[in-house]
């Protein structure tokens, strides 16, 4: 099937960037990224610069890929990262607009590649439990009720892709930060440092230029792991407990 | 080159403790004077960085990804083994050790494997303490499952995302050290060479993937944790950035490469659907706990699966291996699928697939139970294939998954270059000719959390390491080499893309150095690879410059290494005139088609030494002794 693509091209962080139009002869079994590979092959053979984008696992778990497809982070299929979108969802002759994740906290590096290192810095501020490698107690010393462990896992499933930020009108990183805080708040292991963790991670999030959460819930709608905004409510509770 | 495995004396179950007793220590005040470079921060690298940082070393970590949390380890689904015996089903350290030696078809070192089994329990404790949300029973205790052909339940898991959760655990422990100022991160850096000064590894050269800068970095020791090389086959379950460049360039600097031909083909992957395909997706092996594998009895039977009556189905694994059935080890299951398809009994459009059927399990347990166990995997399958596995059996086919081969290391994980250590999938050490399911995660974390923190100190405390600087000749020489290679790649100006070349190389490798190999196929591969490599250096087309983000240029450098590595794999396979584990030579099989090992001549680790461009590499042999586990033919009947 023949598709029209409007793709954001930007040579570097200081370039203004603009959309360019392409056509590609795709096949319905291709994944979205394979369609872009295919386009790039064509561009290279013609002597044009290929479109740069990040990807690695191509199965929705590493969080590398990420683009805004027709105005929606990761495209219009719920619970899927860009690499999990398949071309069978498109029709002959359709036009697809492809842009990078846009946010103050995620400067563009080139084309569709953005700098998400702010997420790492939020984690450095407190996204851990302070145990040294050595001889921790036996894994079964502290039982954790199954439903609690499962709930913690729901939040731990975050792949750090940044779609939540890209989708939020305020470019807030609350779902990302909240998911980690919520995971640890649900586990006995996270108890000791819960106040310090909430305070430091949230402070860092603000320092990175991410906005506040105004409950639009756009983040939850695009999250490839369908993480609930309950994470943000939990984060707020943790923060209040930490500062008062 | 002399191989000294440095296996400590004593009975196998006491070696590690005895060794630790006499290891030299670096005093706490001196640790911060040592700079350690870690390349790669998957499970092996991140766990090492965290542990060494905690001890007080000054750690610098380099990796290709924009953040460590994206390393390929993140994609591991099934689980991690540990001999905890929580289910009380008779597991012991000894049993895990024996299973791993046997599973590796007697081509791994007993001493290393024992140590791995010995520290396995502590890994779980460590991860729980870090907040890894492992699956739990209703009573709140950790859950276990049986996995990949084990007869006990010793696999710990976190839904279908075990690798993700373990990596995030190691990543968070490492981030804590970044916060403490003991670990410094260098993201989007690709190591392109090792710097050896006076015979010792003293630094690396990287390319900054954003602006193209070639940078030198010095250290007292270098830890390579760069993962496996399965992508030499083009299509594999590995992530797109997984590559062999770091290990290969170290090989060219004098690190021996071991058993390159030992690759694992995983039996349960979604079959290829077309030429445009960029990678293959693994369906977790846990599916074989309830799914039954079959193919039609008759050749060319094109009926939809549900219309094929019971007596015209061949549940070939259950038929051939009654005691293990659908849980037969990976190499055996993969080869059986290939045989069935080669006989013309394969299914699907291409004829290269067999069925994995849940009909009976759904009848027995109900759809809900199956959904609870495998829901996310079923969804993933449906998303990719547009077929509903609750109603139609899955189609699966084997795919390249893991590489047991890697850089040779001694018991301390040090390569043949002093000061260069190799951890995780990048080394050859623990899995012999075939890796058991859920053992790679265990090994990566064992190496990083529990082995290297001891063995590295021993080297530092006993070795004279004068100061080096990145202005030294050795650094300049390495930097120049890289600039020349880049220039050469960009200057070819041919008309074939990197991807086209990689697809062609992948096909040569898969057809000839894949699941079944012969003298003829291997010789053919060597010939064809040479021809393709020559064409690559004359007809490659790259766009853009080396002063910017240029993924095609990165890719081209990796492919250049795959050509050379692919040839060494074929040579290694050619020389190993026996069948063992994932290495199946058609000439060497038993009457009923099983792998026929030749322990008399081949119970050794092959270690290849680089002899220079265009020269034949030299084979060294480390003979393997089996004192604790008796050499025997594997039997899963
Ligand atoms: C789909 C899939 C599922 C799996 N499931 C399981 C499972 O259930 N259980 C199990 O035990 N095992 C499993 N495995 C195997 C296991 O995941 C891997 O063997 C293991 O995670 C490898 O870890 P590692 O730390 O050695 O390397 P990796 O995680 O591959 O990390 C490599 C690191 O090196 C960096 N790097 C590579 N080259 C360079 C370079 N030149 N310069 C700088 N940095 C570099 C990368 O950026 C990355 O940080 C699975 C594998 C696959 C493919
Ligand atoms: S490439 Fe890994 S999540 Fe898309």
Q: Do A189 and B130 touch (CB under 8 A)?
A: yes
pLDDT at B591 over 90: no
pLDDT of residue B285: 85
B394 φ/ψ angles, rounded to the nearest 5 degrees: -70, 150
When pLDDT is averaged across residues B416-424 and rounded to a whole number, the result is: 98
In CATH, what number does B473-597 get?
1.20.58.100
Chain region(s) in chain B for CATH 1.20.58.100: 473-597
Question: Which of B125, B239, B241 faces A136 most closely, judged by CB atoms?
Answer: B125
Whether the CB of A179 is below 8 Å from some CB of chain B: the reply is no
**Span A149-165, pLDDT tens digits:** 999 999 999 999 999 99
CATH homologous superfamily of domain A2-109?
A: Beta-grasp domain (3.10.20.30)
When pLDDT is averaged across residues B409-436 and rounded to a whole number, the result is: 97
pLDDT at A60 over 80: yes
**Span A80-100, pLDDT tens digits:** 999 999 999 999 999 999 999
- What pairing do the DSSP bridges indicate for beta strands B618-623 and A95-99? unpaired
Question: Which of A29, A37, A153 faces B274 most closely, judged by CB atoms?
Answer: A29
User: DSSP string of B319-351?
Assistant: HH-TTTGGG--HHHHHHHHHHHHHTT---TTTS
ipTM of this model? 0.98
Q: Is B627 exposed, middle or buried (0-12, 13-18, 19+ CB in 10 A)?
A: exposed
State the closest ligand 1 atom to the C-alpha of B442, by its place in the atom list counted from 1.
Answer: 11
> Closest Cα of chain B to A119: distance in Å?
9
State the closest ligand 2 atom to the C-alpha of A55, by its place in the atom list counted from 1.
Answer: 1
pLDDT of residue B147: 84
* Closest by Cα among B341, B49, B349 to B179: B49
Give the start-to-end residue ranges of the domains of chain A.
2-109, 116-243
Ligand 1 pocket test: pick from B157, B226, B269, B422 the residue with the most ligand atoms within 8 Å of its Cβ: B226
| Residue B336 pLDDT grade (very low, low, confident, very high; cuts 50, 70, 90) | very high
| Residue B637 pLDDT grade (very low, low, confident, very high; cuts 50, 70, 90) | confident
Q: Do A184 and B130 touch (CB under 8 A)?
A: no
| Residue B284 pLDDT grade (very low, low, confident, very high; cuts 50, 70, 90) | confident
| Residue B373 pLDDT grade (very low, low, confident, very high; cuts 50, 70, 90) | confident
Q: Describe the strand order of the beta sheet including A95-99 as a list of residue ranges.
A: A18-25, A2-9, A95-99, A68-69, A72-73
Q: For residue B84, what are its two tokens?
A: 């905890």
When pLDDT is averaged across residues B566-587 and rounded to a whole number, the result is: 97
pLDDT of residue B578: 98
What distance in angstroms lies between residue A235's CA and the mean position of ligand 2's atoms? 26
When pLDDT is averaged across residues B567-594 and rounded to a whole number, the result is: 95
pLDDT of residue B151: 85
**Span B36-84, pLDDT tens digits:** 999 999 999 999 999 999 999 999 999 999 999 999 999 998 899 999 9
Q: Do B383 and A132 touch (CB under 8 A)?
A: no
Count of all residues that appear for chain B in the document? 637
| Residue A241 pLDDT grade (very low, low, confident, very high; cuts 50, 70, 90) | very high
A-B CB pairs within 8 A amount to 203
Question: Which of B164, B187, B497 faces A61 most closely, judged by CB atoms?
Answer: B164
Runs of H (alpha helix) within B266-396: 316-320, 330-342, 359-365, 367-385
Chain region(s) in chain B for CATH 3.90.700.10: 267-399
Query: Which residues are within 8 A (CB) of A238 and not within 5 positions of it... i.e. 6 or more apart?
Result: A181, A182, A185, A194, A195, A197, A198
Query: Which residues are within 8 A (CB) of B532 and not within 5 positions of it... i.e. 6 or more apart?
Result: B501, B504, B505, B508, B563
When pLDDT is averaged across residues B220-235 and rounded to a whole number, the result is: 98
What distance in angstroms lies between residue B191's CA and the mean position of ligand 2's atoms? 23
B270-306 burial, b for 16+ CB within 10 Å, e for fewer? bbbbeebbbbbbbbbbbbbbbbbbbbbeeeebeeebe
Alpha-carbon B512 to chain mean position: 20
∠ at Cα B217 (A54, A105), nearest 5°?
35
> Closest Cα of chain A to B343: distance in Å?
27
- Averaged pLDDT of chain B: 96
When pLDDT is averaged across residues B298-303 and rounded to a whole number, the result is: 94
With beta carbons under 8 A apart, name residues in chain A contacting B129.
Answer: 129, 131, 136-137, 189
If DSSP codes are grouped into helix, strand and coil, which group holds residue B292?
A: strand
pLDDT at B9 over 90: yes
Ligand whose nearest atom lies closest to the CA of B72:
1
CATH class assigned to B267-399: alpha beta
With beta carbons under 8 A apart, name residues in chain A contacting B135.
Answer: 149
* Residue having the nearest C-alpha atom to atom 9 of ligand 1: B438
Count of all residues that appear for chain A in the document? 244
Into which CATH architecture does domain A116-243 fall? Orthogonal Bundle (1.10)
Query: Which residues are within 8 A (CB) of B247 and not within 5 positions of it... i.e. 6 or more apart?
Result: B224, B226, B229, B255, B257, B406, B407, B422, B426
pLDDT at B148 over 90: no
**Span A167-202, pLDDT tens digits:** 999 999 999 999 999 999 999 999 999 999 999 999
| Residue A244 pLDDT grade (very low, low, confident, very high; cuts 50, 70, 90) | confident
Q: For residue A135, what are its two tokens?
A: 């001889």
**Span B513-565, pLDDT tens digits:** 999 999 999 999 999 999 999 999 999 999 999 999 999 999 999 999 999 99
If DSSP codes are grouped into helix, strand and coil, which group holds residue B623?
A: strand
With beta carbons under 8 A apart, name residues in chain B contacting A115.
Answer: 66
Mutate to test the interface with A, among B64, B70, B161, B230 (most CBs of A within 10 A): B70
A185 and A231 in contact (C-beta within 8 Å)?
no
When pLDDT is averaged across residues A54-76 and rounded to a whole number, the result is: 97
What distance in angstroms lies between residue B163's CA and the mean position of ligand 1's atoms? 9
When pLDDT is averaged across residues B238-262 and rounded to a whole number, the result is: 98
- Ligand 1 cavity residues, CB under 6 Å: B 39-45, 62-65, 71-73, 75-80, 162-163, 189-191, 225-228, 237-238, 242-243, 245-246, 282, 401-402, 424-426, 438-441, 444
Whether the CB of B465 is below 8 Å from some CB of chain A: the reply is no
């Amino acid at each position: 099937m023949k598709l029209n693509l409007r793709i954001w091209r930007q040579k570097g962080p200081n370039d203004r960037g603009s959309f360019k139009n392409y056509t590609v002869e795709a096949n319905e079994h291709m994944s979205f990224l394979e369609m872009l590979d295919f386009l790039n092959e064509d561009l290279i053979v013609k002597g044009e610069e290929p479109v740069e984008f990040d990807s690695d696992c191509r199965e929705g778990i590493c969080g590398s890929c990420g683009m805004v497809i027709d105005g929606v982070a990761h495209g219009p299929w719920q619970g899927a990262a860009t690499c999990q979108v398949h071309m069978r969802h498109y029709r002959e002759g359709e036009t697809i607009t492809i842009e990078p994740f846009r946010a103050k906290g995620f400067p563009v590096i080139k084309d569709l590649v953005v700098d998400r290192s702010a997420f790492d810095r939020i984690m450095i501020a407190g996204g851990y439990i302070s145990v040294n490698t050595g001889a921790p107690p036996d894994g079964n010393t502290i039982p954790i009720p199954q439903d609690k462990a499962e709930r913690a896992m729901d939040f731990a499933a975050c792949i750090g892709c940044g779609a939540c930020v890209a989708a939020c009108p305020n470019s807030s990183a609350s779902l990302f930060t909240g998911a980690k805080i919520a995971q640890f708040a649900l586990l006995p292991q996270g108890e000791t440092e819960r106040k310090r963790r909430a305070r430091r991670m949230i402070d860092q999030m603000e320092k990175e230029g991410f906005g506040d959460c105004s409950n639009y819930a756009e983040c939850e709608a695009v999250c490839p792991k369908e993480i609930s905004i309950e994470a943000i409510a939990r984060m707020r509770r943790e923060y209040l407990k930490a500062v008062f | 080159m002399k191989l000294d495995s440095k296996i400590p004396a004593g009975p196998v179950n006491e070696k590690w403790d005895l060794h630790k007793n006499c290891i030299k220590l670096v005093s706490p005040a001196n640790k911060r004077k040592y700079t350690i470079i870690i390349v790669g921060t998957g499970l092996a690298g991140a766990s090492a960085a965290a542990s060494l940082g905690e001890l007080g070393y000054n750690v610098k970590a380099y990796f290709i990804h924009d953040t460590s949390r994206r390393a390929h380890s993140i994609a591991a689904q099934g689980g991690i083994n540990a001999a905890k015996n929580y289910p009380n089903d008779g597991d012991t350290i000894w049993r895990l050790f024996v299973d791993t030696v046997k599973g590796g078809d007697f081509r791994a070192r007993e001493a290393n494997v024992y140590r791995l089994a010995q520290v396995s329990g502590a890994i779980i404790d460590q991860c729980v303490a870090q907040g890894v949300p492992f699956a739990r029973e209703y009573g709140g205790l950790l859950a276990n499952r049986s996995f990949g052909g084990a007869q006990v339940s010793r696999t710990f898991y976190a839904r279908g995302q075990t690798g993700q959760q373990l990596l995030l655990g190691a990543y968070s422990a490492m981030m804590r050290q970044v916060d403490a100022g003991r670990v410094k991160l260098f993201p989007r850096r690709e190591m392109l060479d090792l710097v050896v000064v006076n015979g010792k590894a003293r630094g690396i050269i990287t390319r900054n993937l954003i602006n193209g800068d070639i940078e030198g970095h010095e250290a007292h020791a270098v830890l390579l944790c760069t993962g496996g090389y399965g992508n030499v086959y083009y299509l594999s379950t590995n992530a797109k950035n997984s590559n062999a460049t770091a290990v290969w360039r170290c090989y060219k600097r004098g690190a021996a490469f071991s058993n390159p031909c030992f690759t694992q083909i995983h039996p349960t992957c979604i079959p290829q659907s077309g030429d445009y395909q960029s990678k293959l997706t693994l369906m977790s092996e846990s599916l074989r706990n309830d799914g039954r594998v079959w193919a039609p009895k008759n050749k060319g039977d094109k009926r939809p699966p549900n219309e094929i009556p019971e007596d015209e189905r061949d549940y070939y694994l259950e038929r051939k291996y009654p005691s293990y059935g659908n849980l037969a080890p990976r190499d055996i299951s993969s080869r059986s699928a290939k045989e069935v398809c080669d006989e013309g009994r394969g299914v699907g459009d291409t004829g290269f697939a067999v069925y994995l059927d849940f009909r009976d399990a759904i009848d027995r347990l109900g759809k809900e139970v199956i959904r609870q166990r495998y829901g996310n995997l079923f969804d993933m399958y449906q998303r990719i294939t547009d077929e509903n596995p609750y109603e139609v059996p899955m189609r699966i086919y084997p795919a390249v998954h893991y590489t047991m081969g890697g850089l040779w290391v001694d018991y301390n994980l040090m390569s043949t270059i002093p000061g260069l250590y190799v951890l995780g999938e990048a080394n050859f050490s623990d899995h012999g000719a075939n890796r058991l399911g859920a053992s790679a995660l265990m090994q990566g974390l064992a190496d990083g959390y529990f082995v290297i923190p001891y063995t590295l100190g021993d080297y530092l405390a006993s070795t004279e390491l004068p100061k080096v600087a990145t202005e030294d000749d050795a650094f300049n020489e390495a930097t120049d080499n890289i600039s020349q290679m880049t220039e050469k790649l960009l200057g070819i100006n041919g008309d074939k893309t990197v991807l086209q070349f990689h697809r062609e190389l992948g096909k040569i490798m898969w057809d000839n150095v894949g699941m079944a190999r012969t003298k003829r196929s291997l010789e053919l591969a060597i010939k064809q690879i040479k021809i393709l490599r020559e064409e690559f250096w004359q007809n490659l087309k790259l766009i853009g410059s080396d002063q910017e983000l240029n993924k095609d240029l990165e890719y081209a450098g990796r492919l250049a290494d795959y050509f050379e590595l692919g040839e060494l794999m074929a040579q290694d396979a050619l020389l190993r005139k026996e069948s063992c584990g994932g290495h199946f030579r058609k000439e060497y099989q038993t009457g009923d088609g099983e792998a026929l090992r030749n322990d008399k001549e081949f119970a050794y680790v092959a270690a290849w030494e680089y002899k220079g461009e265009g020269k034949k590499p030299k084979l060294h042999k480390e003979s393997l002794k089996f004192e604790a586990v008796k050499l025997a033919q594997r039997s899963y009947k």
